[in-house]
Amino acid sequence: VHYVAEEKKLIPAAETPFAKDAAFGFTNSNLLDYVEEKTQGRFKRDQVQSITIEDIRKGGPDIVRKKLATLSKLQPCVVNAVTLRDMQVLALGLLDAEAKDQKRILVRSAASFVQARIGLPKKPLLNADTINSLNSSNGG
């Protein structure tokens, strides 16, 4: 089940306001079922590859690469990740699959994957002092 963190609580994704959105809405919190729903049955849940949190944390980038290498053309794959570190392991495995297995992989993901994929270090959120700093040479 895919969860969304809201105020220190984990809510199944299908129970969030985003899931009720007229344009992007969905009814399934399980990512395998979500893919079937969003593809209108074109891909059944048993056709979807899954990279588990155990794959990421115990198998590392090598297992991720091996699972991605088995994908057929256009076959969907869902990934269960929780932390930025999980996303970094995924990114390394994906880079290996692209380089070693000549895979071309299209990713639909949250911004945290982009951060991991390009190797951008984590930065703290801006605070009022940072925003109001007159000594900054950044911006206009």
d(Cα 82, Cα 65) in Å, to the nearest integer? 19
Nearest residue to 44 (alpha-carbon basis) of 52, 35, 55, 31:
35
Predicted model pTM = 0.82
Is the distance from CB of 39 to CB of 76 less than 8 angstroms? yes
Residue-by-residue pLDDT tens, the chain, 140 positions: 899 988 889 999 999 999 999 998 999 999 999 999 999 999 999 999 999 999 999 999 999 999 999 999 999 999 999 999 999 999 999 999 999 999 999 999 877 889 999 988 888 888 888 777 656 666 65
Q: Token digits for 7? A: 């105020």
d(Cα 105, Cα 45) in Å, to the nearest integer? 19
